[in-house]
Structure 1
Amino acid sequence: MYKNYKYVLEKYSGSKSRFNCPNCKRKEFTRYKNIETNEYLPYEYGICNRMIKCGYKKYPSQKINSNLEEVNHNHLEIIEYLDKKILYKFENSNLKNPLFIFLKLYFDEIKVQQIFELYQVKTEKYYENYLTVFPQLDQDFNLRALKKMRYNSQTGKRNKSFFQWYNPNKNNLKQCLFGLHILNEPIFLESKIVIVESEKTAILGMLYFENYLFLATGGMMNLTLERLEPLQGKEIILMPDLSPINAKKSAFDYWKNKAVRIAKEISCSISISTLLEEYSSDFQKENQYDLGDFIIENLINSKT
């Protein structure tokens, strides 16, 4: 059951919903709001999204713990969805998609196309460039969100200075796990589910491994009870990004603690993989490698 809270973290609705962190001064600060009045609490109350590199957090009360990041369902009477017709307004082909171009350097082009179609990944022309569009479709195939990113077609690296959400005039959009709509595909009904942070890593996982269904949270902080609730009865393996050795809080520990709390609320088997933690170098930890980075390194080495 979901708990009732008077204060919740403001849900993301574009740059206007993020503020400069009191500690690191980066515009990555999520503030608490009073759910009854919709007013912000004093500025110091909130959480910096740079949990690993900054770690600032201040809760409204000593009696309220980190479960506050979960959404109070009793106050969300309506969930709005995006019009799925927008999915047909993107490019007809992914051949100019930089991420697609990169992946076909190492995988069969037909297989890459099949995975793109499975996840409904789209391509959008943006001035002289092409963007990769990751849709969030839920288990009922409702379109929850559209996330746009720019990739380098030769390295597969994301341009971290560019990031867009498709934000129509809707107030009750709710995100879900990337790839959640695949849950009902007959071939994946009995599959173990691997949850990673990055959408690109989910796609790489599906291309590289067999017999698993890869889903993505879209970020370390997005592993929530609400997002995992549709996975009741499933066997789930968590694989967060690596964190620097001297990080104030590691993604591994954060997800491990979250898994314990989530497992108490929904009927599923949740474990966290120690593979990356055990077999990574200090350099890989410092640069916050994820499973996708290891896959790419292995593919590059196999070609040399």
Structure 2
Amino acid sequence: MDNFRFILEPYNRHQRNRYTCPSCGKHREFTRYIDTQGAISFPEYVGKCNRINNCGYHYTPAMYFDEHPECKEYNKSFPIVKDKKPVVCHPRLPPVRRHTDTSFIPDEIMQQTMKCYEQNNLFLYLVNHLGYESALHLMKTYHVGTARKWKNATVFWQTDISGKIRTGKIMQYNAETGKRIKEPYAHVSWVHTELDIPEFHLQQCYFGEHLLYNSRKPVAIVESEKTAIIASFYIPEYIWLATGGKNGCFNEQNFDVLKGRNIVLFPDIGMTQEWKEKCIQMRKRNIRTEISEYLEVNANDVERVNGYDIADYLIKVKSGEAVLQSMTRKNPALKLLIETFDLELSGFGTQ
């Protein structure tokens, strides 16, 4: 048998050298590649997920060398294969177990994350556009926390209408652009995965579902958690919920919590047809549902290619609070003047 230089790291039960998959987020299911000669230390995303059928992520050394030609000097005995890119799937959720009880996460765990917002990239982005006080209020209202993972990630807690915590989705954002970090892999994980809770039975709920309790406002549904937060600032007449992605909770199992309410769906550009089918399903269950096609009809080519959603348009309007912050940073004396004479800023933004 040939002795290969680059191999998957053999399992060592003392070192517990199985890691969290960068694609599906499953704990202790990822095997990294190693160099048997010890000359190369591959990045942590070079490896293979053991969940072949449920994930399929496989980033080989050949792919790494293909993208990093500067390493060719170490690669003379390992020819580069011009193969297709690794299969990087969206994180797949554990299968819903129909005959088991839903698992929950203790409230105190969530509360531990509801701080350190100055280290939270999404919070910093919202502060820049909406202002500090508004951003802080939104994080608290929507149960958004801060995670140590990736140093400054965001936790979107899924709290159902009864106040029970189903799980938390951990995601990383760019503090300047507000976009998700997807390179070199999608920075997405789950609280129950990180805590390694045994026999955790996940039943997702809408992000923001807890806001339905004791409120009869009409409901608007979007895909992204970030979008729901931003839209709630600009259009507070609605309770904004998020499905949490294409494979989130937007299914018949979660429709019942919406009964008796007026629902408006705001699909991302390119998702309108699929959400029309959801609209039909909801109406069949006697849920009063409408769908907005404005973005789909009016989007330009650039917006269509980038899959814009309603937040991408709303965020272009800076709030009065954010404008004031920007002005006082440039001229600190202005802040003293405003506080001394109790002045109010008007004519900017939406608030």
TM-score by length of 1: 0.70
CA 205–221 in structure 1, closer or farther in 2 if over 3 Å, else same: same
1:292 counterpart (311, 322, 341)? 311
| Helix, strand or coil at the partner of 2:148 | strand
| Helix, strand or coil at the partner of 1:104 | helix
Identity across the alignment (%):
29
CA 109–79 in structure 1, closer or farther in 2 if over 3 Å, else same: same
Partners of 2:261 and 2:238 in 1: how far apart?
12
- Once the two structures are TM-superposed, the CA of residue 24 in structure 1 deviates from its matched residue by 9.4
- 1:122–1:132 contact (8 Å) kept in structure 2: yes
| Helix, strand or coil at the partner of 1:122 | strand
Where does structure 1 differ by over 2 angstroms across 4 or more consecutive aligned residues?
12-20, 23-31, 88-93, 296-300
1:251-288 deviation digits (Å, cap 9, x = unpaired):
11111012212321x33211110121122101101111
Counterpart of 2:237, as a letter, is N
| Helix, strand or coil at the partner of 1:89 | helix
1:105 and 2:166 equivalent?
no
1:218 and 2:255 equivalent?
no
Paired position in structure 2 for 1:165: 190
Partners of 2:120 and 2:91 in 1: how far apart?
32
- 2:114–2:140 contact (8 Å) kept in structure 1: no
| Helix, strand or coil at the partner of 2:230 | helix
1:141 and 2:202 equivalent?
no
1:2-60 deviation digits (Å, cap 9, x = unpaired):
xxxxxxxxxx884743346xx997343899xxx9xxxxxxxxxxxxxxxxxxxxxxxxx
More strand by share: 1
Counterpart of 2:232, as a letter, is M
1:262 counterpart (260, 264, 282)? 282
User: Where in structure 2 are there 5+ consecutive unaligned residues?
Assistant: 1-23, 27-48, 58-83, 320-347
1:115 counterpart (110, 113, 138)? 138
- 1:97–1:131 contact (8 Å) kept in structure 2: yes
Counterpart of 1:111, as a letter, is S
| Helix, strand or coil at the partner of 1:126 | coil
Paired position in structure 2 for 1:283: 302
1:26 counterpart (49, 72, 87)? 87
| Helix, strand or coil at the partner of 2:129 | coil
| Helix, strand or coil at the partner of 2:302 | helix
User: Where in structure 1 are there 5+ consecutive unaligned residues?
Assistant: 1-11, 36-70, 244-250
TM-score by length of 2: 0.62
- 1:192–1:234 contact (8 Å) kept in structure 2: yes
Paired position in structure 2 for 1:235: 262
CA RMSD of aligned residues (A): 2.9
Paired position in structure 1 for 2:208: 179
Paired position in structure 2 for 1:209: 235
- 1:140–1:181 contact (8 Å) kept in structure 2: yes
- Once the two structures are TM-superposed, the CA of residue 88 in structure 1 deviates from its matched residue by 2.6
Paired position in structure 2 for 1:66: none
